Amino acid sequence: MSERIVVVGAALLDAGRLLAARRSAPPDLAGRWELPGGKVEPGETPEHALVRELREELGVETETVARVPGEWPLRAPYVLQVWTARLRPGSPDPKPLQDHDELRWLTPEETWDVDWLDQDVPAVREIAANWSAL
């Protein structure tokens, strides 16, 4: 049995809003929305992977805050873990640099205004249910 590979997603919060990123690739995911992030590389902690991925994908400096309870299966051997994160003071605004063509800051009322990727929906539900505590 192969070892699972962790994919980290960011519940990037700022001023009470959650950042959603629209995929530009691959074609089967393009146009749908996700929590930005990516794979944890060998020897890397999930928290460090998330900070690195957000720097690469969005050009921002962030810090992780807390893990969102739960772990969600993706296609084998991948599993999704989500952390809340915030922009570091002085960080530029996020921009879609890799894998995305649009970003949106969503208020709690706007959470479901975007077409989330199926694999992100359970994590977004968990975030939405606990928004006031995040």
As a whole number, mean pLDDT of residues 36-59 equals 96
Burial of 88 (0-12, 13-18, 19+ CB in 10 A): exposed
Tell me the CATH number at 92: 3.90.79.10
Ranking 24-28, 35-39, 62-66, 80-84 by mean pLDDT, the lowest is 24-28
- Banded pLDDT at 2 (limits 50, 70, 90): low
Share of the chain above pLDDT 90, in %: 86
Share of the chain above pLDDT 70, in %: 98
* 131 or 5: which leads in pLDDT: 5
Using the predicted structure, report yes or no on whether residue 122 has a pLDDT greater than 90.
Answer: yes
Domain that holds residue 110: 5-133
| Start-end of H helices in the chain | 46-58, 121-129
pLDDT per residue as tens digits for the range 6-43: 999 999 999 999 999 999 988 999 999 999 999 999 99
Q: Angle 87-92-93 (CA atoms, 0-180°, nearest 5)?
A: 80
Distance in angstroms (rounded) separating the CA atoms of residues 114 and 20 = 8
- Banded pLDDT at 71 (limits 50, 70, 90): very high
As given in the structure block, the two tokens for residue 71 are: 């772990």
The domain tally of the chain equals: 1
